[in-house]
Amino acid sequence: MNKLVVVGNEFFEEIIHDNGYYVDKTELIYDLVSKTSNKVTLFTRPRRFGKTLMMSTIESFFDIRRDSESVFKGLNISENHPEFCRKWMNQHPVLFVSLKSVDALDFENAFEMLVGVISDLCKKFDFLEHDEKTDPSDSEIFHRLKSKDWGKDEKKKYQEIKESLKLFTRMLHAVYGKPVILLIDEYDVPLAKAHASKDPEYYRQMLDVIRGLMGSSLKTNEYLKFAVITGCQDFFSGDFNIRCYSDMNISYSQYFGFTQNEVKKMLAYYGISDNYIVIEKTIAKYLSGNTLLFSPYEILIYVKSIFSTLKAVS
C-alpha cells in the first residue's frame, strides 16, 4: 500500500502513524546539537516551508514524556546516529508553544489571544500545578494563567504573561530534574500583524510583550537546555544571544522546503517521475543558501492531485 500524500498536517507523529509520506529531515536534529553550541537558534523561512512540522519533529525526538523509538525507526537520525539517539531521545522535558494564532487587528484582542495560548499550554501541562516538587508560589501563578483570572489586576496579568514561559521551564525543571528544551513556533506572527496594522501604539505594546516573553525565557535562564525558534522574519537580531539562520545561510538550507532530489524521489515512489518536467516549468523554485528548493505545500498539492487522478482513471 502506497503511503498517503498528506497535505496540511503539521504533526510529525500523526504523519508517521497514519502512513503518510514523510520527507526525512531528521538530520537537522543531529546537526543542531552535535555541530553547534547555540543556546538559542532562530530559523527564518517563508510560510508553508515546513517550519511547524520540523518543530513537531524536534518535540517528538526529545520529549521525556514520550517513547519515540518506533516513530523514528528507519529514519535518517536513527539509522545514521544510533549512539546520539540513545543519549538524547526522550531525555529532556520539552515546551512547545506556537504564536501563529495571535493575529488580531488591535492590541487588546491580540493580547487576549496570547493569554488563551498560555492558558491552553497550562492545560497541556496541568500536572505541574499540583506536583509536590513545584514551588507553591509557582503553582499559584500557574493557576491564574490557566484560569485566566487576575481579577482587576491588569499589571500582574501583563507581567505574569511576559514571564510565563520561564515559569514553565522552572516548573518542568523542578519536576524532572533536567533542563528544558524550549520551542517557539511562528514567534513573529504577533509582531508582523501589529506592524501591518500601521498603528504604532499597537506595535509598541506588542513588541514589549513579546520581548518580555522571550527575554525572560531565553536570556540567563538557568532552567533552559536550549531553545529553537521559527518565524518568517528576524525582529530580534542581536538580542537574547540568538543565532539566526535565514534562507540566505548555507547552513541548514536543505532542511526547510523540498530539494530537487527529494521531489524526484517522491515522484518515483508514486510512479510519476515524468511529471518532474511539468513541476520544473510550473512550480516556483527558491534559492536558500546554495540549495534550490520547492515549497512543500505546492509539491504535495500537485502530487496529491496527479496521483488521485491516476487512481481514478485506473
pLDDT at 311: 55
Q: Is 111 left (phi over 0), alpha (psi -120 to 50) or beta?
A: alpha
Question: Per the structure, how many domains does the chain have?
Answer: 2
Examine the domain organization and report whether 43 and 115 are in the same domain: yes
What's the domain range around 92? 12-245
Examine the domain organization and report whether 238 and 262 are in the same domain: no
Q: Indicate if the pLDDT at residue 280 is higher than 90.
A: yes
**What are the tens digits of pLDDT across the range 7-27?**
989 999 999 999 999 999 999
C-beta atoms surrounding 64 within 10 Å: 16
Examine the domain organization and report whether 111 and 186 are in the same domain: yes
Q: Indicate if the pLDDT at residue 241 is higher than 90.
A: no
Examine the domain organization and report whether 218 and 262 are in the same domain: no
pTM (2 decimals)? 0.95
**What are the tens digits of pLDDT across the range 72-86?**
999 999 999 999 999
Confidence band for 314, pLDDT divided at 50, 70 and 90:
very low
Cβ-proximal residues to 189 (8 Å cutoff; 6+ apart), any chain: 99, 100, 101, 102, 103, 231
Residue 292, helix vs strand vs coil = strand
Average pLDDT over residues 168-177: 98
Confidence band for 313, pLDDT divided at 50, 70 and 90:
very low
Average pLDDT over residues 27-56: 96
Examine the domain organization and report whether 235 and 263 are in the same domain: no
Encode 208-234: b = buried (16+ Cβ within 10 Å), e = exposed: ebbbbbbbbbbeebebbbbbbbbbbeb
Confidence band for 309, pLDDT divided at 50, 70 and 90:
low
Q: Indicate if the pLDDT at residue 294 is higher than 80.
A: yes
Contact 111, 213 (CB under 8 A): no
Average pLDDT over residues 253-269: 96
Point out the domain boundary residue: 216, 245, 274: 245
Examine the domain organization and report whether 63 and 41 are in the same domain: yes
**Would strands 94-98 and 180-185 be described as parallel, antiparallel, or unpaired?**
parallel
Residue type, 25: K
Average pLDDT over residues 213-220: 94
User: 108 in a domain, yes or no?
Assistant: yes
Average pLDDT over residues 45-56: 95
Examine the domain organization and report whether 28 and 81 are in the same domain: yes
List the strands of the sheet with 242-245, edge to edge. Answer: 94-98, 180-185, 224-231, 40-44, 242-245
